[in-house]
Amino acid sequence: MISIISGTNRVESNSSKIAKHYHKVALEMNADAKYFSMEALNGATINAEMYNPEKQDPLVKKLQEEAFFPADKLIVIVPEYNGGVSGIFKWFVDAISIREKDRNFRGKKVCLVGVASGRAGNLRGLDYLSSCLQYLGMTVFSNKLPLSQIGHVIKEDGSIDDFTQQVIRKQIEGFINF
């Protein structure tokens, strides 16, 4: 299964719009794919107990069990926050690394997509996240897609411009065969 993850907990974010498009295209390609969002973590608690596997927040545990455990591949769409990735996504990775770390990460393949309103498409965040996920034992797909100027990529009606749709389709096709 491929878990497609919107890496922010902002409701109706551009990252979630892109992630939903990835999900739609993956299903069109007959991939076993499911969509998940960090929005599912809204209401999760941050405290010292999060580093105790037996006391993991129920929202974290649920998302971990639904999105990470069954997946052999992940597509992660991360917005640029201060030259990196969203704090909620990094926090989630840290939180699930204390309970069955290898089952979450080791040997799995991951495709990364950056979303930014600026010109670089979150390249710094993608490089940073690549390093973190490789450290955890994941194999990062070489075709990382930085989506810059996201305000021009997603049209007013919510659709995605034709060129970007083609690039996304090509990336997903390559990742399915990876």
pLDDT per residue as tens digits for the range 44-71: 988 888 888 898 999 999 999 999 999 9
Q: How far is Cα 30 from Cα 95, in angstroms, rounded to an integer?
A: 32
At residue 27, the pLDDT reads 98
Q: Which domains does the chain have, with CATH numbers?
A: 2-176 (3.40.50.360)
At residue 48, the pLDDT reads 84
Mean pLDDT, the chain, whole residue set: 95
Average pLDDT over residues 3-16: 96
Q: How far is Cα 69 from Cα 72, in angstroms, rounded to an integer?
A: 8
Q: How far is CA 141 from CA 47, 157, 174, in A?
A: 33, 31, 9
Q: Flag whether the pTM goes above 0.75.
A: yes
Q: Residues 6 or more apart from 79 whose CB is under 8 A from it? A: 7, 8, 10, 13, 14, 15, 85, 86, 114, 115, 116, 122
pLDDT band at 34; cut points 50, 70, 90: very high
Q: pLDDT tens, 97-154? A: 999 999 999 999 999 999 999 989 999 999 999 999 999 999 999 999 999 999 999 9
At residue 178, the pLDDT reads 96
With beta carbons less than 8 A apart as the criterion, state whether 6 and 36 touch. Answer: yes
At residue 166, the pLDDT reads 98
